[in-house]
Structure 1
Amino acid sequence: MARDDPVQQNSDAQSANQLPNLVTIVGRGVPSRFEIAVDGEIEMVADDPVSEGVVVSEKVAEGTIDVGVQRFRFAGEMANVHVVDWNGVPAPESASTPTVHVEYGAPTR
């Protein structure tokens, strides 16, 4: 007997189709804060965003970073990116703020 409502598994490829774009935050070794806003949906590419110290809502992700990389997949267009260093000095006035890379139509890695 066929099921009326098939179960769908959310694979990486399926996620990339639904959230085709990628934003990458790269820390520069200084504690910094970031906020990313999109006009679609956004989700962190991590097993546990809470353990990473990142809060992700439907259209906004915000958190802290000092070293390493944090990635987010999103749909739609980038609406706003705000990064500040540990003193609250925003980019580009501070060379310590993290770098932000946005890639539209990014393949899954």
Structure 2
Amino acid sequence: MDDLEGVEGISDFDSAEFLNTKESIAAYLSFAAQSGDPEHFKAALKTAARAEKMANIAAEAGITREGAYKSLKPGTKTQMATIMGILDALGMALAVIPKEAARDNSYALAA
């Protein structure tokens, strides 16, 4: 937005501001996971952690705030244990479903 000379009062969109329930975070992360792109999922996980205060999430995951940001930085080879720790700190669980069901959203998890 640097090229919009004279435009004032417009701030950058931050989806973290809208992730204010466990359900919204779960939906956001599920949608990102369905993309099949690890970088997209890491970016979504970072946004979700920021929504819940990165320092708190990192501490609960057993890593530093800086370590969390570094692990979720684009291009990094994030360890599965780190991803699982952040998901757990967010109150989320990882579930695996058939690809076909993910494509058409027809798979319902049993409660």
Task: Please say whether Structure 1 and Structure 2 have the same fold, judged by a TM-score greater than 0.5.
Answer: no
Of Structure 1 and Structure 2, the greater helix share is in 2
TM-score using structure 1 length: 0.29
